[in-house]
Structure formats: structure tokens, C-alpha cells
Amino acid sequence: MALNGFVEFFQKGKTFRPKKRFSPGTLRYSLHKQAQASLNSGINLRAVVKLPPGEEMNDWIAVHVVDFFNRINLIYGTVAEYCIETSCPTMSGGPKFEYLWADGNKYKKPTPLPAPQYVLLLMDWIETQINNETLFPVSTDVPFPKTFLALCRKILTRLFRVFVHVYIHHFDRIVAIGAEPHVNTCYKHFYYFVTEFDLVGARELEPLQEMTSRICHDPTPPPESNSQSAGS
């Protein structure tokens, strides 16, 4: 499913919050456009996530973190009116998985929260990180901080939890509005990206393991001599 169809589909309804955009003329903007064009062409999603030859891995990851933040906001926006404190008193993914919130600020210790409150705090926290130019530099003249990859791992791990909650607790709503193919495409793209660069741990991916094995069938592209991975 082409991404432009996905975005048009969700923009007809409510969005959870304003989109974060890249400024035209910047390297991040051109990489963002490159990533979007690859998706729109409908080619193998597992191939789409690979680092383009000659590009810096941190730039590629920064662009995707912002894009996934925007898209998962759109997805959550479609179920937000059904995700309320009475129906979702915990941020969970079924009976086996519950996510606690900690931000080192107001919530210094991991704290159980209702799902809508958890997601609201999470999206506020991510927005603060990606709008901080010392953490996510806008200009290529400004180097990425040494903590950049660790921060991206934390952001993407927490965003994955939104997928878990939506799929396990609100999938009937996704199906009812005809969004299942769009959400599945976004999930596959996210899954291939985070596994390509080792950005979300296997244990975190466990709640959606069964669904992942069902929908993620894109063949692995042949390795290229100039491909890189994030390491541990």
C-alpha cells in the first residue's frame, strides 16, 4: 500500500497532534523525500530500509525516527476516542505485557498509567527530543551527540509499544474503518527498519511476534558491499 494513500486516508480523520516537518532545502528533507519515494514505488519494504550508498547512518535514522513518530501519531489518532481510562486502565499489550512510564523528571520511577495518559506523555516526550537541535541537529554542520543512537533506540522502543497496544486492544476499530492494510504497511516498514539497524530489542518485539511472522514476508535483498548496520 503506497504511503501517500496511507497519509491521505488518515488525514481525512482526526490527527493526534501536528506533524513534525523537515525544512525544504536541508539534507534531512532530501533524505525524507528519498525514503518517501522508495515507499511510494511499492518495492520490497525490507530493501527500502537499507542505508542508501554514500549516506550517513545517523542522518538516515533521524529521518525515520521523525517519520515513524508522525505516522504512529496518525494511527493512534484513529483509535484515540476508544482508548480511554475506563477501557484501557493500563498501558498494556494483552495480559502478559504492561508498560510503565518513567521520564526522569515528573515520573522518576517506572509508574503504571492508563494507556491514553501513557501515550500522551510519550508523544510529548518524543516531540521534546526531536525538536531539541542539540539532540536532533537540523544542520549537517552540527554533529550528532554521542547519545544519539541510544536516544533513538529508546524512542523507537517506546513507539513500538503504541503499535502493541493498538494491535492488541483496538484492532477491531482499525478493521472497522478499513485501515488494516495501511497500518500493516506502516508496521512492516517500522519492523524492517528497527531490525535492520538493531534499534529495538528482541524481547520488546515479542508481543507482536505471531503477527509479525504472518505479515512480514518481504524477501531479504542480497547484501551489498557498502551496506552498514548500527551494531549494538
> Is 165 among the annotated ligand-binding positions?
yes
The secondary structure of the chain in percent helix, strand, coil, rounded to multiples of 5, reads: 55, 5, 45
What phi, psi does 216 have (nearest 5°)?
A: -95, 85
Is 216 annotated as a binding-site member? no
Cβ atoms of residues 119 and 84 within 8 Å: no
Angstrom distance (rounded) from CA 37 to CA 31: 10
H-state helical runs in the chain? 3-11, 27-40, 45-48, 57-79, 115-130, 148-169, 171-176, 180-196, 202-205, 209-215
88 marked among binding-site residues: yes
Cβ partners under 8 Å of residue 163, min gap 6: 72, 75, 187, 190, 208
Going by C-beta distance under 8 Å and a sequence separation of 6 or more, which residues neighbour residue 99?
Answer: 91, 92, 93, 118, 161
Is 139 within 8 Å of 115 (Cβ atoms)? Answer: no
d(CA 54, CA 110): 41
Binding-site annotation, residues for Zn(2+) = 83, 88, 165, 170
Binding-site annotation, residues = 83, 88, 165, 170
